[in-house]
Chains A and B, each alone.
Chain A
């Protein structure tokens, strides 16, 4: 590629040191150029650094922040009761009339560390009360078929008022003592003083004509207040 004098534009031979027209030294401009350009190339190529700074920022600030937010929300009280979510369906949807349906006490038996309820009886009576006697400590329990057809088993206790009796009225579960109401399907509080203390759900499964409740969570159950 041809070289030209930087001052007068005369073409200079590849090996030329001076312009033959105006005498401008070839090396001079190159030397000035080197000093003006010094550091610039490194600063341009260093722009990669700013990119990695961004990833560093993401790594140091954003990721822990996102994790923090996630953990915060994970630890919030569950919006739905996970035990009720897992309960088995035993019937088509059930509609309760707006008149109180009281609990019917039934007999249960215990086999292989399980409390066994007859499913057909529960289906027929819809809302039953029973007890588990743990070496003298009597724990009240209840079972009912919810509006969406799930069998729900729970400790039959509203701790603030010490009541063990409830009734179903329409789509609500009602404490016989304080009148607090909960939604029948979810046990979410609706009205009254003890909304935070619905019957504490205990998991159960259905095998053939048996509703089976492991006794461990019943024995380990402690009043919430």
Chain B
């Protein structure tokens, strides 16, 4: 059974008479446990595709179903709950909150959870252990390297145990050695059954993914 079904989606941007088709007619299915790399040049529509899968960007046409939920047929509250239940986002720019410690940053998704404080903390520490950041839980983001900050951002995305991780250029700000470490972390998560969709323009990253979707001018170029 497909976890994500993408059916002929299009996204048009533009106003004042200009109309840019960022994504034009993409259909694919993604199975539970796949590690998809979405490869493409800047402007090929890969980030738009990612945000549409994440319930953040309404397609102009077409449907996206996740776990059989037509996510853009949901009402806004349901779609917010969909993101909370299903999606973990990792961004190139980390977006850690500078005045919160590593642990507090990872605890943020729990702000809308029913778990007890003790359970939240133990869950957050467990995830920090997994990404190799447990010993720096009380540091501030400033005191961390770029790679370490990205690990914290990944921990934050994972802490709610979302079935899908969406990563937009997660190594875009990192040097090649640090990038390899982060990619290895994604590969480990994938081996444990995590579904990951990662946008990248770095060919080096493709070897960690199970499948590559290559995009060009808003369309799928080829399937590997």
Q: Is the interface of B mostly helix, strand, loop or mixed?
A: mixed
Does chain B have a CB within 8 A of A59?
Answer: no
**Looking across the interface, which residue of chain B has its beta carbon closest to that of A36?**
B163
Chain A residues proximal to chain B, CB less than 8 Å: 1-9, 29-30, 32-33, 36-37, 40-41, 43-48, 50-51
What is the total number of residues of chain B having a CB less than 8 Å from a CB of chain A?
35
A-B CB contact pairs (8 Å), 20 listed: A1-B27, A3-B31, A6-B35, A7-B190, A9-B34, A29-B193, A32-B32, A32-B33, A33-B1, A33-B32, A36-B193, A40-B86, A40-B163, A43-B85, A44-B74, A44-B81, A47-B75, A47-B81, A48-B78, A51-B77
Q: How far is the CA of A50 from the CA of B112 in the complex (A)?
A: 13
Contacts of B27 in A (CB 8 A): 1
Q: Is the interface of A mostly helix, strand, loop or mixed?
A: helix
Contacts of A3 in B (CB 8 A): 29, 31
Contacts of A46 in B (CB 8 A): 81
Q: Which of B3, B32, B35, B77 contacts A50 (CB 8 A)?
A: B77
Nearest chain A CB to B9 CB, angstrom units = 14
Q: Which of A4, A47, A48, A51 contacts B210 (CB 8 A)?
A: A4
Contacts of A45 in B (CB 8 A): 69, 74, 78
In contact, A7 and B210 (Cβ under 8 angstroms): yes
Nearest chain B CB to A125 CB, angstrom units = 74
In contact, A29 and B32 (Cβ under 8 angstroms): yes
In contact, B32 and A47 (Cβ under 8 angstroms): no
Chain B residues 1 to 45 lying within 8 A of chain A, measured CB to CB, are: 1-3, 5, 27-29, 31-35
